[in-house]
Structure 1
Amino acid sequence: MTEYQAKLTSSEIASIWTSYMNDSMSKCVLGYFLKHVQDEEIKSIVQFSYDSSSTHLEKLTTIFQEEQIPIPTGFSDEDVNLNAPALYTDPFMLTYINHMAKVGLLGYGGFISMSAREDMRAYYREGLNETSELYERSAKVALSKGLFVRAPSIPYPTQTDYVDARKYLSGFSIFSKQRPLNAVEISYLFMNIQTNIMGTKLAISFAQTSPREKIRKWMLRGRDISKKHVDIFTKVLLENDIQPPVSSDVGITDSTIPPFSDKLTMFHMSFMSAAGSGNYATAAAASQRNDLIVNYERLAMEIAQYAKDGGELMIDHAWMEQPPPTMDKDQLTNKKDTMK
């Protein structure tokens, strides 16, 4: 007796489509890294990440074919120039992979929770395990090379306590000093500083190599937004006598020859913007000081506007691939009416 296989739900279709787009982009970026990485330990991390993305694409392609769903165009060899000079330093490559592994951990967890079919859950569990292993390996190498940036340290608490006044939530009172940050709030401020530093570096590298003036301007605008957000979050920590840990300048070279298509770099920055908006929403929900919540909400609006403008640029150049849509019932009805 043949076991019935339910069709993919909209959430599962969205998950495999998003995964394919992200992995096809990652394969291009990591393939370029492999061409130029010099440090053998870092190279092993790049190779592991590249192999994972390649395997994911093969499995996702099989899923699309079995379900008879059109395979996304995504990104291919046409979107990367492996012969372009090195644009990134080895430490940047390692830091980038470690950062993207963090993003991947959140992504795979979400895909699992949105999947009903057993084979889909199994695929994303395997992806989660691989990404966890990638984070573990990249973190270990980063620690050994002094590149892993630890979150700020605070004294261990000596007792448990409860909030005893509503002013604990206040962040704007002109009559009393703001309460000190708690550990949860510090952790999100630190995380968003690190995320924006990565965004700054990527935006600079993409602006430096793009042949199109409008793309360069949009990328530099992204750099300025990320730098501003870093300054805002850093100021909050410094006001609480907390020195934000910073890494050495793990950055980019002076090459101006584009290794990636503008289509890929625009997608990448849109991906980073979406991840940043998600981080801010989570940070706002977890923070208890009102001033922090307001900061995250207004800065998230700035990212949203930046992403919208980037989306319009992508549409103008026919670079924005449309996710699988549902049926337009009104259009179907109107089409039927014209047949009378």
Structure 2
Amino acid sequence: MRSPDSVPLTASELGYLWTGTAINELSSWYLRVFHAHAADMEIKELLDTALQMTNKTILEQRKQLLAHDHYAVPQGFAASDALGDGPALFTDRFMLQYLDIAIRLGLVFHSKSLAQAARADVREYFAECVAATIQLVQRIKDTLLRKGMYWRTPALPSEENPEVIHKQSYLNGWFGDTRPLNSIELANLYDTMELLALIEALCMGFAQTSNSEDVARLFSKGASVVREQFDSMSHALLKSHMPIPPTFQAEVTDSTGSVFSDRLMACHIAGVFGSLITQAGYSLGSVMNHELVKLYMSLISEAGAFTEQITKCLIDHEWLEKVPGAVDREALLST
């Protein structure tokens, strides 16, 4: 894929290649099971396309790039971690919504990967990932719209002339009475709440199918954390007379049979909570409303505390692989 005289991978390139491999390896098993469970043929076809893209376009080339530079590829998971022959844990509706949110998170990840890359072959690879992901995003969105399953955020009144911010109205976003939310605050708030709703449904389903009481309790706590944050953000929307987005609670079936291993589920929840913290941090950067600042700070704090707990669980069970990092010079000197 690259010439023998090209430079080694940078830390940025390695970080996105290695982490992306771990993420895509994990997601491929969920796509396999969802594809097996989907009854709607159009949704099943989209899941199959996503799975083929993950395995052929993304994973194979990632592993080649890592192996060519003599980096160990993440161990990943095995067929025993995902049982597609059992009853479905989620409805077709949820699986399509899951695919939509997951592919959009992937687009952000691939775009950041491309922006951080320097080596020509790595840039070419990440550009291919972005292009393939964009095509799938369009197909998924069209399917959601055609099936009447896409929830549109509200339209806002149009303004014929530009308006300059007056000092008093601007500062009301930070001090005193809170002003109505502006369009970018609403866009990021709805995006965050959609991810919160997805995580809640995943935690609910995982809690009722876990083989370990301790891990099941951890999933139940995760569901409570995101539900509390969703309710707080709903209150902020209602104060601006904005609609609240739907949740996915009803899309979890009553199945209690084992579908995914505890390791596969715990790793996934750790990953989506990481995405949630990233989304909250990004949203915080565009906020001009003091109530939203408090909401996002609370979300980052609560999600961070839960992430620490689930990471400890992964470490205790020896389920967590180590990301390649800088040399520990102090450890070398002490030997």
Instruction: Place the TM-score, normalised by the shorter chain, in its bin.
Output: over 0.9
Q: What amino acid is the match of 2:78? A: S
Which residue pairs with 1:27 in the alignment? 28
Output the CA distance in 2 between the equivalents of 1:119 and 1:251: 42
Q: What secondary structure, in the 3-state scheme, does the structure 2 residue paired with 1:216 have? A: helix
**Pair 248,85 (structure 1): closer, same or farther in 2 beyond 3 Å:** closer
Q: What secondary structure, in the 3-state scheme, does the structure 2 residue paired with 1:71 have? A: coil
Which residue pairs with 1:93 in the alignment? 95
Counting only pairs closer than 5 Å after superposition, residues 168-317 of structure 1 correspond to structure 2 as 168-171=170-173, 173-174=175-176, 177-246=177-246, 251-317=251-317
Q: Any conservation in 2 of the 1:149–1:247 contact (CA below 8 Å)?
A: no
Identity value in percent: 27
Output the CA distance in 2 between the equivalents of 1:261 and 1:290: 42
Which residue pairs with 1:338 in the alignment? none
Q: Any conservation in 2 of the 1:85–1:255 contact (CA below 8 Å)?
A: yes
Output the CA distance in 2 between the equivalents of 1:248 and 1:319: 28
Query: Normalising to structure 1: TM-score of the pair?
Result: 0.93
Counting only pairs closer than 5 Å after superposition, residues 68-147 of structure 1 correspond to structure 2 as 68-147=70-149
Output the CA distance in 2 between the equivalents of 1:159 and 1:275: 38
Q: Any conservation in 1 of the 2:82–2:261 contact (CA below 8 Å)?
A: yes
Q: Any conservation in 2 of the 1:147–1:248 contact (CA below 8 Å)?
A: no
**Pair 139,54 (structure 1): closer, same or farther in 2 beyond 3 Å:** same
Which residue pairs with 1:7 in the alignment? 8
Q: What secondary structure, in the 3-state scheme, does the structure 1 residue paired with 2:251 have? A: coil
Shift of residue 3, structure 1, vs aligned partner: 6.4
Q: Any conservation in 2 of the 1:284–1:293 contact (CA below 8 Å)?
A: yes
Q: What amino acid is the match of 1:133? A: Q
Q: What secondary structure, in the 3-state scheme, does the structure 2 residue paired with 1:286 have? A: coil
User: How big is each residue's C-alpha offset from its partner over 1:155-188, in whole Å with a ceiling of 9 and x where there is no partner?
Assistant: 11222112221552334655xx321111111111
User: How big is each residue's C-alpha offset from its partner over 1:60-114, in whole Å with a ceiling of 9 and x where there is no partner?
Assistant: 2222221111111022323211222211111111000000011011101111111
Output the CA distance in 1 between the equivalents of 2:250 and 2:6: 48
Shift of residue 331, structure 1, vs aligned partner: 2.2
Output the CA distance in 2 between the equivalents of 1:223 and 1:18: 25
Specify the structure having the higher radius of gyration (Cα): 1
Q: Any conservation in 1 of the 2:174–2:289 contact (CA below 8 Å)?
A: no
User: How big is each residue's C-alpha offset from its partner over 1:244-281, in whole Å with a ceiling of 9 and x where there is no partner?
Assistant: 24367661211111211111111111111111111111
Which residue pairs with 2:17 in the alignment? 16
Which residue pairs with 1:38 in the alignment? 39
Output the CA distance in 1 between the equivalents of 2:154 and 2:116: 34
Q: Any conservation in 1 of the 2:197–2:248 contact (CA below 8 Å)?
A: no
Gaps of 5+ in 2: none
Q: What amino acid is the match of 1:149? A: W
User: How big is each residue's C-alpha offset from its partner over 1:41-74, in whole Å with a ceiling of 9 and x where there is no partner?
Assistant: 1111101100011112221222222111111102
Which residue pairs with 2:49 in the alignment? 48
RMSD of equivalent CA atoms? 1.6
Q: Any conservation in 1 of the 2:193–2:230 contact (CA below 8 Å)?
A: yes
Q: What amino acid is the match of 2:242? A: I
Output the CA distance in 2 between the equivalents of 1:173 and 1:68: 55
Q: Any conservation in 2 of the 1:101–1:131 contact (CA below 8 Å)?
A: yes
Q: Any conservation in 2 of the 1:98–1:134 contact (CA below 8 Å)?
A: no
